[in-house]
Structure 1
Amino acid sequence: MAVYYTEQDLLAHAEGRTASSAADALSKLEKSAIGGFDVFLSHSVRDARFILGLRNWLRKQGLSVYVDWIEDPQLDRTQVSSATAARLREQMHVSRTMIYATSRAARESRWMPWELGYFDGLRSAGRISILPIESSAKYDKFVGQEYLGLYKVIEKVEVSRYGTTEPYAVLPSGLRGEPIRSFARSEGRYEDLERR
């Protein structure tokens, strides 16, 4: 059975900050990501409080993360414009991987499907992973829009050799995956997964 990260898991990493209060301080730190980002985080701005927690959690994993409203607050994601599209393309070109944070709010996003399609054409599908933001952690299998089934899904995986639960980007078959840091750094260090 797959175990996903929940809204509460992500909020726990937001460290009590609101998205607006943390944006300036975090942006200064992220600007040190010379040569680009490990992760381009595609998401709905309506999920900002969860995304802030997700970003903090990924940064604790040692990863650099692009979040548009932190790095490029001048962008207006409420309107589709050529200037915003050009800036997002630039940032995708300097990002190794994409994490597509899907949620109820994401289904209404104007930008997310476009970002996914552009990044898929830019990089191989193996460099994209879906992170379902759910209210409950356990599911038999993630079910989202049909096209999301083409990509890896980030799950909590029990790693018996360490006796811990770790984040893995799991292949659609569910039988193999790679640790989140390996995925985000494009290392391709896959492991067979023991499923219960």
Structure 2
Amino acid sequence: MVHYTISEVRDAGIAEARYQVGGAREVLRTSSRLLGPFDIFLSHSFHDAELILGVRTILQRAGKRVYVDWIDDPELDRTKVSKLTASRLRERMNQCSSLIYAATKAASSSKWMPWELGYFDGRKSAESVAIMPLVAYPGENLGQEYLGLYPTLERLSGVRPSPVLTRRGTYGNMQKSLDDLINGRGGTAWRSI
């Protein structure tokens, strides 16, 4: 299992946008808006917009319905903290089974992401949250120690790598499936690896 790299996530987005005039941003802009419920609320920095198409593509290839605020609710203004925006995000998080936090360098300066993570953890549970580190190279540390409270979404190697959750611990590592996260299966779903 390894973290997803920025280059492989970007490549997934490029492959998705290959035949679309305007590239990744145009695919995201013209995507059909989904109505809830959703499997995943994708918490991310808007500054990582190009990477988000790749993340969304990877999760959709795994058969998941993914909510991305500026795709599914383009009228929201993420640059302004308002009661309306917060209310809509709460409503959408309540329609989602799980939250995946796209951890990047830009995420560390986001005003919304820590709020989304805290709201979701408090509303659902820590067992419904995963961190997806997007790194430039294997082993890169993105900081933000509190993210270590949650399992990481990684990929299994292979011809068609699939996303899995990994929890690293002092006494060994554990793993569960993305479906286990979405279905809220906690303690008994973890398997030693």
Whether TM exceeds 0.5 here: the answer is: yes
Q: Is the 8 A contact 1:166 1:179 kept in 2?
A: no
In 1, Cα distance between equivalents of 2:69 and 2:77: 10
Question: What is the match of residue 50 of structure 2?
Answer: 49
Identity %: 41
Deviates more, 1:98-107 or 1:184-193: 184-193
* Range that drifts further, 169-178 or 51-60: 169-178
Q: Distance in 1 between matches of 2:83 and 2:101?
A: 22
**Cross-structure match for 1:132:** 133
Matched, 1:166 2:165: no
**Residues 38-117 of structure 1 correspond to what in structure 2 (within 5 A)?**
38-117=39-118
Structure 1 range deviating more: 47-56 or 169-178: 169-178
The residue type equivalent to 1:132 in the other structure is: P
**Shift of residue 88, structure 1, vs aligned partner:** 0.3
Unpaired runs of 5+ residues, structure 1, are none
Structure 2, unmatched stretches of 5+, are: none
Which residue pairs with 1:21 in the alignment? 26
Shift of the alpha carbon at 1:142? 5.3
Amino acid at match of 2:41: F
**What is the distance in 1 between the residues matched to 2:54 and 2:68?**
12
Normalising by structure 1, we get a TM-score of 0.84
Deviates more, 1:141-150 or 1:122-131: 141-150
Equivalence for 2:150: 151
Partner of 1:190: 190
SS class of match (1:27): coil
Cα gap change, 1:142/1:97 in structure 2, threshold over 3 Å: closer, same or farther? farther
Paired amino acid for 2:128: R
- Separation (CA, whole Å) in 2 of partners of 1:150 and 1:92: 20
Compute the displacement of 1:175 (Å): 1.1
Paired AA for residue 169 in structure 1? L
What SS is found at the alignment partner of 1:75?
Answer: coil
* Displacement of 1:60: 1.0
User: Residue 178 of structure 1: CA displacement?
Assistant: 0.9
Q: Distance in 1 between matches of 2:96 and 2:160?
A: 29
Shift of 1:124: 1.0
1:173-184 counterparts in 2 under 5 A? Answer: 173=169, 175-184=173-182
Residue 190 and residue 26 in structure 1: after superposition, are their counterparts in 2 closer, same or farther (change >3 A)?
farther
User: Cα distance, 1:23 vs. partner?
Assistant: 2.7
In the alignment of these two chains, the number of paired residues is 183
Query: Any idea what the Cα deviations from partners look like across 1:23-75, whole Å, max 9, x if unmatched?
Result: 344234x33xx5x1100000000001111111111111110000000000000
SS at match of 1:133: strand
One-letter code aligned to 1:151:
Y
| Deviation for aligned residue 1:184 | 2.6
SS at 1:3 equivalent: coil
How many Å apart are 1:176 and its aligned residue?
A: 0.8
Q: After the TM superposition, which segments of 4 or more aligned residues of structure 1 sit over 4 Å from their partners?
A: none
**TM-score of the aligned structures, taking structure 2 as reference length:** 0.85
